Amino acid sequence: MVNPVLRQIASPELTLELLTDPADEARWNQLVQKHHYLKEHRLVGESLKYVAQQNGQWIALLGWSSAAFHLDARDAWIGWTDPLRKSRRALVACHARFVLLGAQSISCHLASQILSLNLTRLSEDWRHRYGHPIALVETFVDPERFEGTCYRAANWIERGVTKGFGRSRLDFYQLHAKPKALFLYPLAPQARQLLCAPVLPPIGHPLNAPPIPTNIP
């Protein structure tokens, strides 16, 4: 469930747009390639690209992709077995790119506000694009470069560090020996119970509605 921090009202001049126009996506790709420290704009698997604008100017780029195949800390927090992880991983998305254009002039509060705007609409946008909602999101923060302040301010859950592998293709991981801090944020009420439920709600049942009872205690 989106917490009160994420329900703050954005200032009138701040908007967030899901990109669908090829020209806008090409511009997004070029800017991410130029300004993101990984110098890589490609997103793995199911993905969505957003731009935040203020007074008509692009000020932030956000990219979401399919979740990591296996993360010990995430899977333990959810309570996943291998079969459950394989069948429910599609309900988890990864915040793979967050680029603040003119970052020195963008406050932590504004960065959190932009992220908040995205989280309030992400699941429905995903449903419209891919036919299913999102219950949980994850992201990775390089502690040598960033502190993850905007995620902490928005009450994301820090769950330790990764083992230092990164996905370079859809089904291939490379060791880069740079463990990253893992942050999680539930978008659905009782997200862990939902992701472990023996039977998922019907496709038309929104995940932010009261959950359908299951046999999970």
Please write the tens of the pLDDT for every residue from 7-45.
344 455 899 999 999 999 999 999 999 988 777 778 999
Q: Is 183 helix (H, G, I), strand (E, B) or coil?
A: strand
Check residue 171 and give its pLDDT. Answer: 45
**What pLDDT tens digit does each residue of the chain (217 aa) get?**
444 334 344 455 899 999 999 999 999 999 999 988 777 778 999 999 999 999 889 999 999 999 999 899 999 999 999 999 999 999 999 999 999 997 666 788 888 899 999 999 999 999 999 999 999 999 998 867 767 888 988 889 998 887 655 544 444 334 445 788 999 999 998 899 999 988 776 655 555 543 433 333 2
Burial of 172 per CB tally in 10 Å (0-12, 13-18, 19+): exposed
Burial of 193 per CB tally in 10 Å (0-12, 13-18, 19+): middle
Domain borders along the chain are 4-195
53: tokens are 């604008």
Please write the tens of the pLDDT for every residue from 150-163.
898 888 999 888 76
Check residue 207 and give its pLDDT. Answer: 57
Q: What is the dihedral of CA 83, 212, 75, 92, to 10 degrees?
A: 90
CATH, range 4-195: 3.40.630.30
- Give the whole-angstrom CA distance, residue 48 versus residue 93: 10
Check residue 198 and give its pLDDT. Answer: 81
Closest CA to 178 of 208, 142, 150: 142
What's the CA angle centered on 63, arms 132 and 128, to 5 degrees?
25
Check residue 205 and give its pLDDT. Answer: 54
User: Residues 27, 173, 131, 14: is their CA dihedral positive or negative?
Assistant: negative
- Give the whole-angstrom CA distance, residue 74 versus residue 60: 27
Residue 197, Cα to own-chain centre: how many angstroms?
Answer: 22
